[in-house]
Structure 1
Amino acid sequence: MRQLLLILLIAIITAGCGSSSPKKESSYVSAKNIPDLQQIRESGQIRVVTNYNSTNYFVYKGQPMGYQFELLQEFANFMNLRLEVSVNNNLQENIDRLANGELDLIASNLAVTREGEQKVAFTEPHSYSRQVLVQQAYSSERSGSSERIHNELIRNQLDLGGKTIYVQKGSAFVQRLRSLSNEIGDSIHIVEIPDYEVEQLIELVAEGEIEYTVSDENLARVNLNFYPNIDIETAISFPQKQAWAVNRNSPELLNAVNNWMVGFKKTARYQRIHRKYFENRRSGHIVNSGFHSIKGGQVSVYDDIIRAESERFDWDWRLIASIIYQESRFIPDAESWAGAMGLMQLMPQTAERFGVHAITSPRENIRGGMQLLQWLDERMSLRIEDPEERLKFVLASYNVGIGHVLDGMRLAEKYGRSPIIWYDNVDYYVLNKSNPKYYNDPVVQFGYCRGEEPYHYVREILERYEHYKNVLR
């Protein structure tokens, strides 16, 4: 009896211990509505956020570029996914959006830390870099003199005691400075700035508005090209891993990124991308160009004309700029094999129809192209109410002619797909209008066409338009 009572007592205590304190889950660990690799594959796209700066992501001469952007393109192509890029330089907002399933991936120079691992799952590092102090090597020239005023530089981390350092809010720089403050046994006044990215803080140092900030060394060395009066030689950390981040509840996606990253970093292609943005001295020339979205904010020399003509017809000038890039690369006297001419590649009969007398005149050519777009939009509005969806049909019609697009709509309806949805519906039949099965179909009125061109034309223009919206007003 005593043995039986003892066994029952142990069982009661054990059961009580097992249920007395439920595990507390982190607010960042919730599998609800968090897509993993299978759901991402089914959607056909991967949603990514990156930093808008002179190395990660920008537009130059109408073309999206950047270290992170090119890596992302390589990964998306490898996974056969469409890349949906958004821009946000607020790290905490990006982490929150990743946590609630609005994003699949944060692609930037995230320093891998234990504190960060409580919030996100870091991928294999894409690079390594130290954190460095950014300070003025010399201040502005004296008025009426070419003499530089050299500043006393901090070379010993102990001298940071009592100094005020401005850093991006929520960044790994904050954590490192706190640790450094403990290590030197003195206070470092850390001011976290929520609305400024690292490069903006570097610019404030160069202009003398603040004394110090912190940057990863790779980015700081790029900024030396266009802020020669800064000093970045004082390291405040050992080399650190820099990685992307996914949600902690997306292990399959994490595994896919890691496997790709490990292999891709061994390729010559990766080495070329890294050298292009971090080791090429011409990068300073590119950033200082008027055609760089950060410094000059221009897509082309015709931006003012594009804006003015777009406003006349109430279209977004960035969309028209994307069309012009696709049509002519902003070359005003460009001529195609078929005889189309000018920035918007008007056929002579189209130019005559819309009153374009000087077909290579940038303003007249753009105005004629806008009139054609407006005409196509009015025709398509009789069939498609949704303006965003209608735009795809208008673009395809601009490229290949409205007749072939109407044929695609009739084919889609005949074969049980939606005639008023472009992607994965009408675009499929336009793409395949070079197939006798389709161009000989009784519902087809305009016969054969090379459907591959309008199929890619729509996608490329709209993807570039999204990039322009990310970085251009």
Structure 2
Amino acid sequence: MASDSKSYLQYICIFFILMLFVSCSGLPDEEEHEEIHGVEIEKKIEKSVHDTTNSYQMVIEHKKLVAVTNFNSLNYYIYRGETMGYQFEMLKAFADNMGVVLEIKVENDLAKSLEMLYEGKVDVIATGLIATTKRMRWFDFSDPLIITKQVLIQKLPKNWQQMRTLNEIESGLLRSTIELGKKEIHVKQGSAYQKRLTAISNDIGDTIYIIEDKREVEELIQAVASGEIKYTIADQYLAMANKQNYPELDFGMPVSFDQKIAWAFRKEGTNELRDEMNNWLRLFSRSAVSRNIYNKYFISTRMQRMMQRDYQTSTGGNISIYDHVIKDVAKEIGWDWRLLASLIYQESNFKADAENWSGAYGLMQLMPSVMLQFGIDSTTTPEMQIRVGGKYISYLDRLIPETVTDSIERAKFVLAAYNTGVGHVLDARRLAEKYNKNPNIWTDNVDFFSKNKSKPTFYNDPAAYYGYARGEETYDFIVDIFDRYENYKNLVNK
């Protein structure tokens, strides 16, 4: 009974808090409710009142920064096997500065991204989010990474290249917000663009026909270029990144004032993670590395051309020209083809004639002794290189004890053997068993002994039959392959 009374009193308290909140500051209007995206406001208030989570401490404790970004040809994608993107590179630099691992989650639905942050599933949103006043009520924002504005995307007049003067071209373009009246404009569903156009419609006293479209902003830009639609809205920085690809488009009409593109963090009393990011950004933004990243994605015409090529995941969905063979071989050896692709990129960057100082050759960087074992040489076709590489992986797999039953852990043992030789891997297993670690688990068990096999304490140990090995190289080899594999899984279908 006492418990029921207590619950009743708690219910009454929450009710009055909600009523006070409504009377003082108002529940979100319909537009703001869309920004918060469907999570009940009561749940959010309760969480903001009672949640004492310190995101910074959680990141440090878990040694991992979990970020959500969106998949497009600017923020996060794969080009010829390499993970790229402005937001990705900035997140990676920040995580490296903190000394933690970066884990990326991909979500192109802003609604779900905001929900993930509220629920603590991610530490930061890095999607090119505009720090609006309404959003700042619900989230802590970093200092701006980019200052931008919203611009109208429209097609240049027909035969614009034959026009003699700039005025002649300008006369065929919209250049005033008043001219937006009675126009049909497609915008990404759930974006801030719809709100901006609604405000303009009110300001000019005329109707703008706003079509909320499920497609991504870049797809809408492409739709304008193809003539499917007449107008869309995009952030200026994103529009300029696509300028080289669509010379027939005009991005010159702003429809907003300057706006801040920033990272969003959970609302916390003293937001140490946000403050850490701001302190880092102030220093990093003055560095040559920061300038190079910015120039790569917003200035370089070469990068803009790359964005439209077949082996860029946001346009073609492929990793390499060898995908069909990789998929076939991966099926034969029982691997996810994206893991095999990550190995090949690690070894050769998909260059069929790659050769290193040790004599390793080709896409899979097979040693001369292995090529001899399987009857191939430097004249072998790229397809055969991959097929023989698959056979070699199967051969190594048979040498790993059957007690390693987890498929992912087993793949790590095989990759270690691929890099350093199976003898050194078996040494590391024996050392793990001797020092009371699990010899059947690579991560946080056998990997420690493999990594330290360059130290006398371990390579002179009686359990190490094969002596010295450059263990850190093998450790990094596996970390790099699996980091890339996680990005491939985010961006490329199985």
Report if aligned partners of 1:155, 1:234 keep a CA contact under 8 Å in 2: yes
Conservation of the 8 A alpha-carbon contact between 2:352 and 2:363 = yes
Q: CA deviation at 1:33?
A: 9.3
Match runs of 1:116-265 below 5 Å = 116-138=135-157, 152-194=172-214, 196-249=215-268, 251-265=271-285
State the superposition RMSD in angstroms.
2.7
Instruction: State the 1:34 CA deviation.
Output: 5.3
For normalisation by structure 1, the TM-score amounts to: 0.88
Report matched runs for 1:52-67 at 5 Å.
52-67=71-86
Q: Which digits, 9 at most, give the CA deviation of each residue in 1:106-126, with x for residues without a partner?
A: 112111101212332211110
Q: CA-to-partner distance for each residue in 1:60-114, whole Å, 9 max, x for gaps?
A: 2221112111111110110001111122221111111111111111112111101
C-alpha deviation, 1:279, in angstroms: 1.5
For residue 322 of structure 1, what is the aligned residue in structure 2?
Answer: 342
Equivalent position of 1:419 in the other structure? 439
* Structure-2 change in CA distance of 1:45 and 1:19 (3 Å): closer
Pick one of 447, 454, 463 that aligns with 2:474: 454
C-alpha distance 140-35 of structure 1, shift in aligned 2 (>3 A) = farther
Q: d(CA) in 2 for partners of 1:425 and 1:282? A: 44
Contact preservation (8 Å) 1:49, 1:103: yes
Match of 1:390 in 2: 410
1:209 positional shift? 1.4
In the aligned structure 1, how far is the partner of 2:283 from the partner of 2:400? Answer: 47
CA distance in 2, matches of 1:413, 1:450: 21
Moved more, 46-55 or 314-323: 314-323
Counterpart position of 1:10: none
CA distance in 2, matches of 1:34, 1:164: 45
1:372: which partner in 2?
392
Give the residue type in structure 1 aligned to 2:243: L
Alignment check: 8 A CA contact 1:133 1:233 kept: yes
What's the CA shift for 1:381? 6.0
Amino acid of the structure 2 residue aligned with 1:454: T
Of the structure 1 ranges 206-215 and 343-352, higher mean CA displacement relative to structure 2 is found in: 343-352
- Other-structure match for 1:337: 357
Matched residue count: 453
Cα displacement (A) at 1:388: 1.7
Q: Hey, which of these two has a bigger chunk of helix by percent?
A: 2
Q: What is the CA distance between 1:357 and its match in structure 2?
A: 5.8
Gaps of 5+ in 2: 1-12, 22-40, 164-168
Deviations 1:327-376 (A, max 9, x none): 12222232332222221111233233334466643122211111121233
Query: Which of the residues 103, 107, 117 maps onto 1:84?
Result: 103
Is 1:442 matched up with 2:437? Answer: no
Contact 1:51 1:108 in 2 (8 A): yes
Structure 2 counterpart of 1:71: 90
Question: Matched residues in 2 for 1:272 and 1:363: separation?
Answer: 36
Q: Percent identity?
A: 42
Label 1:33 to 1:348 Cα distance change in 2 as closer, same or farther (>3 A): farther
CA contact (8 A) 1:359 1:365 kept: no
Within 2, Cα distance between the matches of 1:211 and 1:398? 54
Equivalent in the alignment of 2:16: 21
Give the C-alpha shift of residue 291 in structure 1: 3.1
Q: Deviations over 1:401-420 (max 9, x none)?
A: 12211211221222232222
Q: Is the 8 A contact 1:47 1:105 kept in 2?
A: yes
Partner SS for 1:187:
coil
The answer to whether the 8 Å contact 1:431/1:452 transfers is yes
Partner of 2:306: 286
CA distance in 2, matches of 1:157, 1:314: 58
* Unaligned segments of structure 1, at least 5 residues: 1-17
CA distance in 2, matches of 1:395, 1:101: 34
Aligned CA distance change for structure 1 residues 314 and 139 (closer, same or farther; 3 Å):
farther
Structure 2 residue matching 1:455: 3-state secondary structure: helix
SS in structure 2 at match of 1:128:
strand
Instruction: Give the superposition deviation at 1:248.
Output: 1.2
Are 2:322 and 1:302 equivalent residues in the alignment? yes
Structure 2 length-normalised TM: 0.85
Distance 2:335 2:134 in 1: 46
